[in-house]
Amino acid sequence: MTVFGYRLPGMSSLLIWGLLWEVVGQLDLTFFIPALSEVISTLFTVIQTSAFQVALAETAYAFLAGVFFAIVIGIPIGILMGKNRLIDEMLLPWVNVFLSAPLTALVPVLMVLFGFGMKSIIITTTLFAIWIIILNARAGVKQINRSLVEMARSFGASPVDAFTKIYFWAALPEILGGVRIGVIRAVKGVIIGQLLISIVGFGALFELYSANFLMSHFWAVLIVLFALAFTISEFLAYLERRVSYYAAKR
């Protein structure tokens, strides 16, 4: 956008929204919304506390582990579904059901099955992320140019070669798109898991802050989480753009 001939950098509108927040906070309308300046100064004290750092480390661990399993299980399953009609018929209904299912409702079941600890949170995270990764990998393989597959076969490619040198790369733009959406869902999964299980990570922190009406602490942690999720998503979007040069020309 340009104003008075000046090109404004992206997301300049955030300044206006930040200003509005500050005004509402300063007016002291509700305890629920402290001024932004207060939240930010709290943010800097909060991130130095060991409680925050432990929560961040635990969340990062659960998140990375969950995303890792979602990717290493999801991508091969998606590729297999795209390649093999039988596997596709067997799994597709389940993938679609779980994609749209309210997975939050499953978390109590997971807690019963896997206990109240890290394991359940990791599984929750994986369950949030994996379905869209599977579906996108499958879609990527489905649109593959048949003659690339024939070409590989005609030069004697083994099934493993075809898998790693043709199918994976041909589907990579879709796979990365799926991973990006999956990662965003994994952020939800890891937080929801922690909130429901609520004895580790940010879940415990949120519980503590909201129970004690520490609203500026609450908002500070929330801002950190939003910023982290947004950064991860933008990084993956950047990776996606790097392969998009061939996405349109396969």
Partner 1 sequence: MAMSQIKPALVAVPGSDIAVSTRNITKFYGYVEALRDLSLEFPRGQLTSLLGPSGCGKTTLLKIIGGLLEPTSGEVEVNGQTVTGPGPDRAFVFQDFALLPWASVMRNVAFGLEMRGVGRSEREDIAARYIKEVGLAGFEKAYPHQLSGGMRQRVGLARALSVDAQVLLMDEPFSAVDEQTRRKFQEDLLSLVQNENKTFIFVTHSIEEAVYVSDQIAILLPRPSRVSEIIRPSNFREKGVDNIRRDPEYLDIVDQIWSSLRSYVE
Residues that bind partner 1 (CB under 8 A): 145, 147-148, 150-157, 161, 165-166, 169, 172, 243, 245-246, 249-250
| Residue spans of beta strands (DSSP E) within the chain | 2-3, 6-7
C-alpha closest to that of 182 among 239, 134, 226: 134
What is the smallest separation between the CB atom of 250 and partner 1, expressed in angstroms?
Answer: 5
What is the smallest separation between the CB atom of 248 and partner 1, expressed in angstroms?
Answer: 8
Alpha carbons 181 and 82: distance in angstroms, whole number: 19
What is the smallest separation between the CB atom of 172 and partner 1, expressed in angstroms?
Answer: 7
User: Which lies closer to partner 1 via its Cβ, residue 8 or residue 151?
Assistant: 151
What is the smallest separation between the CB atom of 151 and partner 1, expressed in angstroms?
Answer: 4
Alpha carbons 173 and 239: distance in angstroms, whole number: 9
Alpha carbons 170 and 152: distance in angstroms, whole number: 12
Alpha carbons 153 and 198: distance in angstroms, whole number: 53
Q: Both tokens of residue 182?
A: 């999956």
User: Which lies closer to partner 1 via its Cβ, residue 28 or residue 150?
Assistant: 150
C-alpha dist (Å) from residue 34 to 51, 208, 214 = 22, 18, 10
User: Which lies closer to partner 1 via its Cβ, residue 80 or residue 171?
Assistant: 171
What is the smallest separation between the CB atom of 244 and partner 1, expressed in angstroms?
Answer: 11
Look up residue 104 and give its DSSP letter.
G
C-alpha dist (Å) from residue 114 to 101, 103, 106, 191 = 20, 16, 12, 17
Supply the angle between the helices 107-114 and 168-197 in degrees, to the nearest 10.
80
User: Which lies closer to partner 1 via its Cβ, residue 30 or residue 145?
Assistant: 145
User: Which lies closer to partner 1 via its Cβ, residue 28 or residue 161?
Assistant: 161
User: Which lies closer to partner 1 via its Cβ, residue 137 or residue 166?
Assistant: 166
What is the smallest separation between the CB atom of 165 and partner 1, expressed in angstroms?
Answer: 8
